[in-house]
Amino acid sequence: MLSSNDRLLITWNTRPKEIPTRPRTPSQYPRTDSRHWYDMEYAGWGVQKCGVMESPADGARGKRVAFLQPGLHPYHVAFAEGLARIAERAGVSVHTLLGSMTMESQDEQVKRAMDEHPDLVILVPISSEACTRWVQQLHARGIPVIVSNYIPNEEAYRYILSWCGPDDWGQYRMLARSFAERMHQKGGYAIVRHIPGSSCYEARTWSVVTELAATAPRMHCLAMGDAVREGTFDPGLAERLVSGWIAQYGNELRGIVGPDDDIAMGGINAALAAAGREDVVRVGAGSTQKGMALVKEGKLHAITFQPAQADGALAMKIAVDWFSGLDIQPINYLPKYIVTRENVDDFISKKPEFTAVSIELLTRAVVAGSEQDVERFFEDSYQSLLSAELVTPEFFNGFAIEVLSALIHVLKMNEIDEQALLSDYESLYKNLFNQKTPRRSMEWMMNMAKEALRAIARARQAETPIVRIIRYVQRNYAEPLSLKILSSQFGISAPYLGRQFHLAAGKPFATFLNELRIRKADELLRYTTLKANEIAARIGYSNVNYFYTLFKKYRGYYPSESKSRACPEEETPTPAQGDRVIL
């Protein structure tokens, strides 16, 4: 049984972001007034979508996702790691297309993604303006897009499935208040700005200026400047910029707001150390290990808790949810925390995530009918959760949704009415997130898994072995299959299996498999932009010429003629005990 000791910090996402009424003309207000920036700060809220693709609702396993990584900044590297871990657990194949933090390289990334035509693209755009062009191009090719981290402009939201990432405006407002406390609500400060063209450029500047103008009017912005070379932060430029400010403003400069907690902050700290100005209050965006160490040493006074791995994991979790047919929110924020010297040990000593046991172990246990292994899966996952101590909502919620998605998928694959068993999806997830503690959530999910296990066991009692094998072939037609492989897997001699398969399906195994694959190929040719050689590989044929020969044999025309034929959609019959399966 699961332990009753919930000794970890976890919060549930129950408070939506409050969206104020839009001013009639935001531009009429001065830039020091938050209303001037309304359309940037609340971009994407209430946007009318433009033909966003519907989910295939067939699960994430086997899907291909292209990740358009903007560059090798440490944040983006860690982002990719978090994304990859969720993808691995969900059985998603990720192809990372690496850019060089330039619009030209991101243009090339988008072009390559369109050529490869993955099942979904996750885009981290370096330009808010150009993002609209990129998502429109992908959308026109029928490729669904999730945009993450940097905020696109308003128009781009019409074409994307979802945006996710840090609430940059919101968390920098929190950071500004913490900054003001350390400066005793008075004095001059300067801002080292983010990369021009990115959403952070305005957010991490004007959220601070407008927040302090409203809450700490005795503070005033002395200067702001950039420390960017070739699309990324340059610590040498940051050092020279801050040295110039020190020379110009002297002791009037009492605080600096940085764009990060690592690269640019290194240059800021070098300039202050050289000038003997360790008294200057410094804040920035985190939270790298280097940034945490600087906070602990007192060389950085506050940072936002913005774990890059959680950022990447959130993007992939949304993709997994969409593939599974779940409702996804158009905008998804990471939680907001401010790390200071007073609480930094909590963040250093406690990992911001837990490593869940592979979901595949759970599905195997359910299919195998082993309640003991189901219990072991949730016990091991819960112990991993406890060892992490600090868990962001996105990580735990993502794990929980993966579990339920896996159970729904297993039930569907076994042709069991999952809604009759687990109730409707909306109630299902509402019940999950109404659990008061992580322990109760784990126990609730474990009970759901046991219910699924028992339903599958009951259904199997009414099936003959040969019917189970036919169902297996219908679900796994794209895998390497033969009578020899099936006989070994199901413990039946190949000759006997061949005779029984022919009797049950009404045709030899090879004919059954080829007809099934070719019908699936015809559907893909008619309803997707995939090329014939790509489809051949996807349905299980490595030899394209052989695929062409079979296609002509079974359909009576060549793959190139498929789109011009409006054939009615055909369905794969479902075998029942004692019935002959006829295709």
Q: Is 169 a residue whose pLDDT tops 90?
A: yes
Q: Is 338 a residue whose pLDDT tops 50?
A: yes
Residues 187-199, mean pLDDT to the nearest whole number: 91
pLDDT at 14: 42
pLDDT at 572: 40
Distance set, CA 273 to CA 243, 319, 375 (Å): 10, 45, 56
Q: Which of 328, 308, 317 is nearest to 400 (CA)?
A: 317
**What's the total number of domains in the chain?**
4
Which two tokens mark 351? 């990992």
Residues 525-541, mean pLDDT to the nearest whole number: 87
Task: Give the ranges where 163-198 is alpha helix by DSSP (H).
Answer: 168-182
Give 268: exposed, middle or buried? Use CB within 10 Å, 0-12, 13-18, 19+.
Answer: buried
Say yes or no: 550 and 523 in one domain: yes
Say yes or no: 175 and 287 in one domain: yes
Residue 191 lies in a domain: yes
Task: Give the ranges where 64-198 is alpha helix by DSSP (H).
Answer: 74-90, 103-116, 128-140, 168-182
Q: Is 307 a residue whose pLDDT tops 50?
A: yes
Residue 443 lies in a domain: yes
Q: Is 347 a residue whose pLDDT tops 90?
A: no
Residue 225 lies in a domain: yes
Residues 279-300, mean pLDDT to the nearest whole number: 90
Q: How confident is the model at residue 570 (pLDDT cuts 50, 70, 90)?
A: very low
Q: Which of 296, 289, 292, 246 is nearest to 267 (CA)?
A: 246
Per-residue pLDDT of 420-476, as tens digits, reads: 565 555 666 677 777 777 788 888 899 989 988 988 888 777 678 888 888 888 888
From CA 205, how far away is CA 69, in angstroms rounded? 24
pLDDT at 401: 80
Q: Is 397 a residue whose pLDDT tops 80?
A: no
DSSP string for 316-372: HHHHHHHHTT----SEEEPP--EEETTTHHHHHHS-SS--PPPHHHHHHHHHHT-HH
Q: What integer best gives the mean pLDDT of the chain?
A: 84
- Out of 6-10, 195-199, 367-371, which region has the weakest mean confidence (pLDDT)? 6-10
Say yes or no: 194 and 79 in one domain: no
For residue 502, give the CATH number of its domain: 1.10.10.60
Residue 17 lies in a domain: no
| Contact yes or no for 410/456 (Cβ under 8 A) | yes
Q: Which of 315, 285, 278 is nearest to 199 (CA)?
A: 285
Residue 344 lies in a domain: no
Per-residue pLDDT of 32-48, as tens digits, reads: 999 999 988 998 888 88
Q: Is 29 a residue whose pLDDT tops 90?
A: yes
CA torsion sign for 265, 270, 271, 277 is positive
From CA 553, how far away is CA 151, in angstroms rounded? 51
Which two tokens mark 407? 């159970």
Local structure of 257: helix, strand or coil? strand
Q: Is 514 a residue whose pLDDT tops 50?
A: yes
From CA 521, how far away is CA 540, in angstroms rounded? 10
Say yes or no: 288 and 315 in one domain: no
Say yes or no: 174 and 251 in one domain: yes
Say yes or no: 266 and 197 in one domain: yes
- Out of 290-304, 429-443, 487-501, which region has the weakest mean confidence (pLDDT)? 429-443
Asked if residue 287 has a cis previous peptide bond (ω within 30° of 0), the answer is yes
Residues 189-210, mean pLDDT to the nearest whole number: 92
DSSP string for 210-248: HHHHHH-TTEEEEEEEE-EETTEE-HHHHHHHHHHHHHH
Residues 100-119, mean pLDDT to the nearest whole number: 93
Beta pairing, strands 64-69 & 187-193? unpaired
Which two tokens mark 483? 């009578």
Say yes or no: 272 and 316 in one domain: no
For residue 230, give the CATH number of its domain: 3.40.50.2300
Say yes or no: 214 and 325 in one domain: no
Residue 126 lies in a domain: yes
Say yes or no: 471 and 455 in one domain: no
Domain of 525 in residue numbering reads as 465-564
Task: Give the ranges where 462-577 is alpha helix by DSSP (H).
Answer: 465-475, 483-490, 494-505, 509-527, 532-539, 544-555
Maximum alpha-carbon separation in the chain: 92
From CA 162, how far away is CA 87, in angstroms rounded? 17
Close Cβ partners of 479 (under 8 Å, ≥ 6 residues apart): 540
pLDDT at 383: 77
pLDDT at 582: 29
Q: How confident is the model at residue 393 (pLDDT cuts 50, 70, 90)?
A: low
Say yes or no: 512 and 541 in one domain: yes
Q: How confident is the model at residue 52 (pLDDT cuts 50, 70, 90)?
A: confident
Residue 1 lies in a domain: no
| Contact yes or no for 82/137 (Cβ under 8 A) | no
pLDDT at 162: 92
pLDDT cut 90: percent of the chain above it: 42
Say yes or no: 131 and 222 in one domain: no
Say yes or no: 229 and 298 in one domain: yes
Give 144: exposed, middle or buried? Use CB within 10 Å, 0-12, 13-18, 19+.
Answer: buried
Residue 582 lies in a domain: no
pLDDT at 2: 47
